Amino acid sequence: MLDIKYVRENPEKVKENIKKKFQEVKLPLVDEVIALDEKARSLQLEGDNLRSEKNTASSMIGALMREGKQEQAAEMKKRVGEINERLASLEKEEEETKSILKAKMMIIPNIIDDSVPVGKDDSENVEIEKFGEPVVPNFEIPYHADILASISGLDKESAGRTSGNGFYYLMGDAARIHSAMLSYARDFMINKGFTYCIPPFMIRSDVVNGVMSFEEMDAMMYKIEGEDLFLIGTSEHSMIGKFKGQIVDESALPITLTSYSPCFRKEVGSHGIEERGLYRVHQFEKQEMVVLCKPEDSMDWYHKMWSYTVEFFRSLDIPVRTLECCSGDLADLKVKSCDVEAWSPRQQKYFEVGSCSTLGDAQARRLSIRTKGENGTYLVHTLNNTVLATPRGLIAFLENNYQEDGSIKIPKALQPYMGGIEIIQPKK
């Protein structure tokens, strides 16, 4: 959410930003919030003046009574009564106006960074850099569900009976690789100086509204029936929510956290849920990184964070590339974002395995997360990035470590988490 002062002073910049995101339908909101802001400030000013008048009148009543000026005291009491009636009406109108203003402000997208390429959707995202050689072997790489079947590692049929489409059982060595990758991701980030955390897996609606746009919430979140609780779609939600309403000591910044959680997503949209595979599912697990920092440090942390994900995947012998998200592909709270994509030797193309974003002070403003230093109190900046989301990360691992004889190579970095196993053979 933007600062209303910024909108008031820079309406054309806000409108231009909306156009860059191809959300012209939101253009009228700018003039609407400016008018509502003016009305709210006018109501507040009138209220302040009336409260001042009431205080003066109230103090005079006692003096008039002591002086025996009963009629004047009665007139003053009458005026205080009129002021009280008007204040009650004003306060109600001011509260309603501010509520409408906030609701409209939360729909206006955040100001994107000047470096973000302008484009309508993810088809216009821009490749930044490749890391590792994207090899196409001279033998066929099976579909990942078939690789998992070869080691008796996947059971979607049973999951269909227990939970429906979009769920799965991982079994045996497949489940072990899955857990090993998450454990390695945890230790990888701890070694980078991040504090490990396991957060709540359900959060209240005020936290949801603080960390994401309404459109994202409707498309992603599962609500617990009869409760003001939502299942998290990523641990970033509860990790940022941890600081809701807090004033963080400036000397504690940056706060660097790495969190594990299961993630639950409706996956509403055009992509749909895979019938056989695990690329798009309702439930997965994730190692995340979250940073709270000073505004002047946020872009440095942004570049540092995505580079950690690149380093993690390269340590597992998986080629990756980074992709700059264009303006139309950015969620409304994001200032700048890039995807990390892993190479698929089977499809001979890259696919998304993680995303890094800086949100400026948007989440901090919605959740009132501030810091206090020598120059006063101000909003922090928040950033988040995927270290590993699996089973999507598992798919990249399987395809890039699949051998011609059907075995799966275990890279050195992962072997300590697999009991020293160097290779997994297919079941006979």
User: Could you read off the pLDDT of 47-88 as tens digits, one per residue?
Assistant: 999 999 998 888 888 788 888 888 888 888 999 999 999 999
Is the pLDDT at 246 greater than 70? The verdict is yes
CATH number of the domain enclosing 302? 3.30.930.10
Q: Is the same domain home to 80 and 194?
A: no
Q: What is the pLDDT of residues 42-57, one digit of tens each?
A: 999 999 999 999 988 8
- Please report which confidence band the pLDDT of residue 275 belongs to, taking 50, 70 and 90 as the band edges: low
- In the predicted model, is pLDDT for residue 269 greater than 60? no
Residue with tokens 């005020």: 206
Query: What's the domain count of the chain?
Result: 2
Same domain, 46 and 161: no
For the CA atoms of the chain, what is the radius of gyration? 28
Residues 6+ apart with CB under 8 A from 347: none
Last residue of a domain, one of 72, 105, 138: 105
**By the 8 A CB rule, do 355 and 151 touch?**
no
The answer to whether 264 touches 283, Cβ cutoff 8 Å, is yes
> Is there a single domain that holds both residue 157 and residue 205?
yes
In sequence order, what are the beta bridge partners of 343? 350
Q: Measure the CA–CA gap between 184 and 170, rounded to whole angstroms.
A: 18
**Residues forming beta bridges with residue 377, ordered by sequence position:** 372
Query: What is the structure's pLDDT at 273?
Result: 60
* Phi, psi (degrees; rounded to nearest 5) at 165: -65, 145
134 and 68, same structural domain?
A: no
d(CA 17, CA 362): 15
Pairing, β 255-264 against β 283-293: antiparallel
Instruction: Give pLDDT tens digits for 300-345.
Output: 999 999 999 999 999 999 999 999 999 999 999 999 999 999 999 9
Contacts of 418 (CB under 8 A, 6+ apart): 176, 177, 180, 410
Q: Are residues 53 and 131 in the same domain?
A: no
Same domain, 21 and 77: yes
Determine how many CB atoms are found less than 10 A away from the CB of residue 98: 16
> Do the domain assignments include residue 113?
no
Q: Which domain holds residue 72?
A: 4-105
Residue 274 has pLDDT above 70, yes or no: no
Are 357 and 403 a contacting pair, CB within 8 Å?
Answer: no
Domain identity same for 171 and 46: no
100 inside domain:
yes
- pLDDT, tens digit (0-9, with 9 covering 90-100), for 185-242: 999 999 999 999 999 999 999 999 999 877 778 778 999 999 999 999 999 999 999 9
Residues 94 and 163 in one domain: no
Mean pLDDT of the region 106-125: 96
Instruction: Specify the CATH number for the domain of residue 11.
Output: 1.10.287.40
- pLDDT over threshold 90, residue 90: yes
